[in-house]
Amino acid sequence: MTRAYVLINVKAGHVKDTMKELHELKGVHSVHACWGRPDLIAFLEVSDQKSLQELVLQKIHHVAGVEGTDTHIVMDL
């Protein structure tokens, strides 16, 4: 299991709609709106790093309103 936090910058006025669309993506466990930057923080759970890459680059990056992401993979210590 690969888990990651994705910090997401969103175009002004699109946070609510972007958040709703992100919630519908398989592998997105939760999405929270924040004050300042980033606008959203998403917690992802997928089977492996390849799936994480596909989710972020091919799905999240194509959600309307998303301007950019910063991905932080969770380490199991």
Give tens-digit pLDDT for 31-66.
Answer: 999 999 999 999 999 999 999 999 999 999 999 999
- pLDDT given at position 77: 86
* Tens of pLDDT, residues 4-14: 999 999 999 99
Rounded distance between C-alpha atoms, residue 10 and residue 64, angstroms: 9
- Selected from 3.90.1720.10, 3.40.50.720, 3.30.70.920, 3.40.50.150, the CATH number assigned to the domain covering 2-69 reads 3.30.70.920
pLDDT at position 74 over 90: yes
What average pLDDT does the chain have? Answer: 97
Strands (E), the chain: 2-10, 28-33, 40-46, 66-73
Single pTM value for the model: 0.94
Q: What pLDDT shows up at residue 21?
A: 98
